[in-house]
Amino acid sequence: MEGKVALVTGAAGGIGESVVRTLAERGVTVAAVDKDAVRLRACVEKFTADGLPVAAFPGDVTSSPDVESFVDAVERTLGPLDYLVNAAGVLRLSEARRLTDEDWKFTFAVNTSGVFFVSRAVVNRMVPRGSGAVVTVASNAAGTARVEMAAYSASKAAATMFTKCLGLEVAKYGIRCNLVAPGSTETPMLSDMWKDEAAARKASIEGVASSFRVGIPLRKLARPENVAQAVVFLLSDAASHITMHDLTVDGGAALGV
């Protein structure tokens, strides 16, 4: 992977930040994209201090013009993109019947439209070159119903099927499109769900019968690097004959379904 160029969205924290580091440690030059310019600069400063080839490109994945602008800037600055990782994501918790219009629109704007805008912009540049790899970070909730996660689950299900359809269409150009579906992972998104961290951590692992949640058979939460390693595998030549695949990284929480 050394010498390749990647764009990673949601790069200022959580899984996206871990993907950036994991790629850069393998010699990939990484364009780190996030809407939070302050946090993004802080992350990139850490990476560059460690001698890693990472550059910050603040941008909003929910804006099609902004996406076209930062993708152009990345290719002008770093060179043609070989890899794309869609890792930007948001979570709004609510019972489905109590979701607000804004909850629904914002969740889909980031988790679904963001994947569409960025994938379209990058893949349209990959097609004439006849190569490339895309990984969308989805969720095991895309295929498993979760209490108070209707908007999130629906948005991730839409992003999942979009990525698979895109992969089918661009396979003839030598472009692979895959997904990684994490379960509960130690990130700010997960910790923000917890009022009592110790109790909620225990509940995530052991399950909650009243919420029809079975827990995690491997008895531990994922670390962001666990997900990042799966992403990097699917981008790499080791996965050169894999496309339209959804790789679940959840410790067995979805029972292999």
What the chain holds in terms of domains, given with CATH numbers, is: 5-185+223-249 (3.40.50.720)
Whole-prediction pTM: 0.94
Other residues' Cβ atoms within 10 Å of the Cβ of residue 207 = 15
152 in catalytic set: yes
Q: Return the pLDDT at 72.
A: 98
Q: Return the pLDDT at 8.
A: 98
Q: Return the pLDDT at 197.
A: 64
Tokens of 26: 């393998």
Q: Return the pLDDT at 162.
A: 98
Query: Count of H helices and E strands in the chain?
Result: 9, 7
Dihedral of CA 198/223/218/157: which sign? Answer: positive
Q: Which of 152, 178, 235, 254 is catalytic?
A: 152
Averaged pLDDT, groups of 10, the chain, 257 residues long: 98 97 98 98 98 98 98 98 98 97 98 98 98 98 96 98 98 98 82 64 82 91 96 98 98 93
For residue 183, report the phi and psi dihedrals to the nearest 5 degrees: -100, -145
Q: Return the pLDDT at 207.
A: 86
Q: Return the pLDDT at 196.
A: 65
Contact 231, 26 (CB under 8 A): no
